Amino acid sequence: MDPRGKSPRRKRVLLTVTLLVLLLAAVFLGCMSLAFATLYVKWVRIRSYFQFPFLAFLNILPAVILTFVLYCLLSRAWLAYLLSSVIVLGGTFANFFKVVLRDDCVVFEDLFNIGAAAGIVGEYRISLSLPFYIAILLCLLVTALLFFLCRGRLPKWRWRLSGAVVLILLFLGAFQLWYRDDGLYKSFSNDEWFNQWQPTEYYASRGFLYPFFHSFDDAFPPPPDGYTKAAAQEIRDAYPDQDLNVQVNFVAVMLESFTELDLDYVEDPYEPWKQLKEESLTGALISDTMGGGTVNAERSFLTGFTYPQPGYRHTTESFPWYFRDLGYTLEGCHPGHD
């Protein structure tokens, strides 16, 4: 299958075979990404993507484009596929474990925080289950197939570079036309096997690669109408930080979407809280979230920010930092999962 020393006709045949097999391999890679985008790797969820052919296409297209761009630059089908597998499945696996560990999907803005993410991952012990090993093994088998049987080479360097540029331009056109289109994104009502009221599930119902690129605009939020940095700083300077005359203990207990019911109890479950209120300075907080979205109430309470909430993926001032600067020791916890 080595094209060296072969006739021009034989080289064209080998190149055609290589391109066709590489295309199938890239499509297969996109399908594997979709399998893990389901978060549970269940067949009914995987099949749901293909009930919307264009949705499946938008998830597979980035894997195909990336594979062929690398092939144009490297002229080695096996190497192009191997590198594409590392990038595509690496991102898909990262999304899977980020949801498991933090109930938060990988979005485009996370590319700017890879260093912080690496530090967080170091605090966890991650183990791969059988589907992950199967996916890795399949990628290695396809890489070996391409190495031994698909060794067609592209012609001169200028044609390879031109091909890579054309493919990138095609994807940029698709990105502008389809991936940034909010109306198109919301039109895929893939909610039969996904919980549309849970953000991670809503994201997963559209795959991984497609919603990842769709989140591009969220990484660069526009400033509010009429915003200027100078005016904002002027307003900020009108409220200088002040020291507390007396330091006391602050205790905040957030019960998220908890509601106190006016019922008659054999044993009042609120009695300990009532006793605590009697010996404290207390106040009531009205939460505007119920069920899903309680993270918004938590973040508003900690920062004072109202909707829309910022991304919180960079240094952000907050009330806990204010108390820390006053010399307080802060502790926090979020109980859950037993």
Q: Give tens-digit pLDDT for 136-165.
A: 999 999 999 999 988 887 778 888 899 999
Assess whether 195 and 320 both reside in one domain: no
Is the per-residue pLDDT at 208 higher than 80?
yes
Give the pTM: 0.76
Is the per-residue pLDDT at 260 higher than 70?
no
In this structure, is residue 63 part of a structural domain?
yes
Confidence grade of residue 258 (pLDDT, cut at 50, 70, 90) = low
Assess whether 163 and 194 both reside in one domain: yes
Look-up of token digits 């890579």 = 164
Can you tell me the distance from the alpha carbon of 262 to that of 109, in angstroms, rounded to the nearest whole number? Answer: 45
In this structure, is residue 284 part of a structural domain?
yes
Q: What is the mean pLDDT of the chain?
A: 86
In this structure, is residue 330 part of a structural domain?
no
Assess whether 168 and 250 both reside in one domain: no
Q: What is the pLDDT of residue 11?
A: 74
Burial class (CB in 10 A: 0-12, 13-18, 19+), 255: exposed
When divided into structural domains, the chain yields a total of 2
In this structure, is residue 235 part of a structural domain?
no
Assess whether 145 and 190 both reside in one domain: yes
Assess whether 320 and 177 both reside in one domain: no
Can you tell me the distance from the alpha carbon of 303 to that of 297, in angstroms, rounded to the nearest whole number? Answer: 10
Assess whether 132 and 211 both reside in one domain: yes
pLDDT tens figures, 267-299: 888 888 889 888 888 877 777 766 666 777 888
Confidence grade of residue 236 (pLDDT, cut at 50, 70, 90) = confident
Q: Which domain holds residue 16?
A: 8-219
Cβ proximity of 22 and 80 under 8 Å? yes
In this structure, is residue 99 part of a structural domain?
yes
Compute φ and ψ for 229, nearest 5 degrees: -65, -35
Q: What is the pLDDT of residue 4?
A: 64
Is the per-residue pLDDT at 301 higher than 90?
no
In this structure, is residue 44 part of a structural domain?
yes
Confidence grade of residue 44 (pLDDT, cut at 50, 70, 90) = very high
What letter would DSSP give residue 238? Answer: T
Q: What is the pLDDT averaged over residues 174-200?
A: 92
State which of 185, 219, 253 marks the end of a domain.
Answer: 219
**Residue 292, helix vs strand vs coil:** strand
Percentage of the chain exceeding pLDDT 70: 90
Cβ proximity of 302 and 320 under 8 Å? yes
Q: What is the pLDDT of residue 276?
A: 85
Residue 134 makes CB contacts below 8 A (sequence gap 6+) with none
Confidence grade of residue 262 (pLDDT, cut at 50, 70, 90) = confident
What letter would DSSP give residue 224? Answer: P
Assess whether 201 and 274 both reside in one domain: no
Assess whether 164 and 286 both reside in one domain: no
Is the per-residue pLDDT at 233 higher than 70?
yes
Is the per-residue pLDDT at 265 higher than 60?
yes
Q: What is the pLDDT of residue 53?
A: 94
Residue 320 makes CB contacts below 8 A (sequence gap 6+) with 302, 330, 332
Q: What is the pLDDT of residue 103?
A: 82
Assess whether 154 and 253 both reside in one domain: no
H/E run at residue 55: helix 53-74
Beta bridge partners of 290: 292
Is the per-residue pLDDT at 338 higher than 60?
no
Find, among 12, 4, 149, the residue nearest to 77 by Cα: 149
pLDDT tens figures, 120-129: 666 777 788 8
Can you tell me the distance from the alpha carbon of 207 to that of 32, in angstroms, rounded to the nearest whole number? Answer: 11
Residue 333 CA to its chain's centroid (Å): 24
Assess whether 127 and 51 both reside in one domain: yes
Assess whether 245 and 215 both reside in one domain: no
Q: What is the pLDDT averaged over residues 175-194?
A: 93
Q: What is the pLDDT averaged over residues 114-124?
A: 70
Assess whether 189 and 51 both reside in one domain: yes
State which of 158, 186, 219 marks the end of a domain.
Answer: 219
